[in-house]
Chain A
Amino acid sequence: MKRYLIPLALFLVLAGFLAVGLQRDPRLVPSPLIGKPVPVFSAPRLDQPQTVVTPAELRGQVWVLNVWASWCVPCRIEHPLWVDFAKTQKVALVGLNYKDKRDDALAWLQRYGDPYRLSLADNGGQIGIDWGVYGVPETFIVDREGVIRHKHIGPVTPEAMRDDILPMLRKLGA
């Protein structure tokens, strides 16, 4: 009897590891930027390309950066959540239009609603690289001191909004 117990135990340990591994999404790579100050950038506003904005102007308040593009299909899925967010929350929602054409972006906002208090453009994708963006849409939460506190990769689901994003904003006193 004992000689069967060892392989059985080994099997159970292996199955345990595999079961945990299967439930994790390999596409979600933890960002090294969490807990770090926001990368410095200067981005033109989407609505007024002559005006350039830097993160210093957002200092002193909690804000949310949502990276999106008109060519990004999952962005359309999460978008109603942000429209709703803008109606119910006081937090500044900043949109970063990533590797897009200005006309397409403006038309997209016209069509699906514009929840952004401030819309910035990153046509070349350099700001995206500095923020470690690899799968649009992505969402970052920045605290009053300008430190990145949370990152959500992929479209925000109602559950992620309820369980991660809103609690984090409350915790930061927004």
Chain B
Amino acid sequence: MGSLRSLAAGLAAVLLSTLLVLHTLALAQTALPLAEDPVLEERVKRISNDLRCLVCQNETIAVSSADLAVDLRRQVREQLRAGRSDDEIRAYMVARYGEFVLYRPPFKPTTVLLWLGPFALLLGGGALLYYLLRQRAAARPPLPEAERDRARALLKDGSP
């Protein structure tokens, strides 16, 4: 009786462990595409992070779940696998969707204002502030000698 019970327990343990192994195998199968080439996935992620999803414009195609973003991520992955460079893939996207897809627009004549505008504003504002403060300081008449003496006496005295 006791041996029968232990046999049943043993069988159950074997069955359970088999199931567990099968289960982890199944999990490993679904995770395979990612684990297959972590370096490639890292590059896909880096490039996708710089590309705007045109369907939901404030998201990159790396985080967007829009259908088009999924397709474009696959596109990036396939092109990397085919040996294309990062720049070639970016050029591919720009040729189709325009420079708006780039989260880091290139520095060129039409984007000078975009890149340098904030610094120009900062410099202009600083210059204006400097000029106004100097003008104000120059416009203020110096304190007459008599009032200066009174102020000095008051400060020294310490009591009104």
Instruction: List residues of A whose CB falls within 8 A of some B CB.
Output: 26-27, 29-33, 99, 125, 129-132, 134-135
Contact = CB atoms under 8 A, between A and B. Distances in A.
Contact of B97 (A26, A32, A99): A32
Given A27-B57, A99-B67, A125-B71, A130 B98 contact: no
Contacts of A26: 57
A130 B67 contact: no
Interface residues of B, number: 15
Given A125-B71, A129-B71, A29 B96 contact: no
Contacts of B96: 32-33, 129-132
B98 A32 contact: yes
10 contacts: A30-B98, A31-B98, A32-B94, A32-B98, A125-B68, A129-B71, A132-B96, A132-B97, A134-B68, A135-B54
Interface of B: 54-55, 57, 67-68, 71-72, 75, 94-100
A135 B57 CA distance: 12
B97 A29 contact: yes
Contact of A29 (B54, B68, B71, B72): B54
A37 B115 CA distance: 32
A98 to B, nearest CB: 10
A29 B55 contact: no
A134 B52 CA distance: 12
B71 A134 contact: no
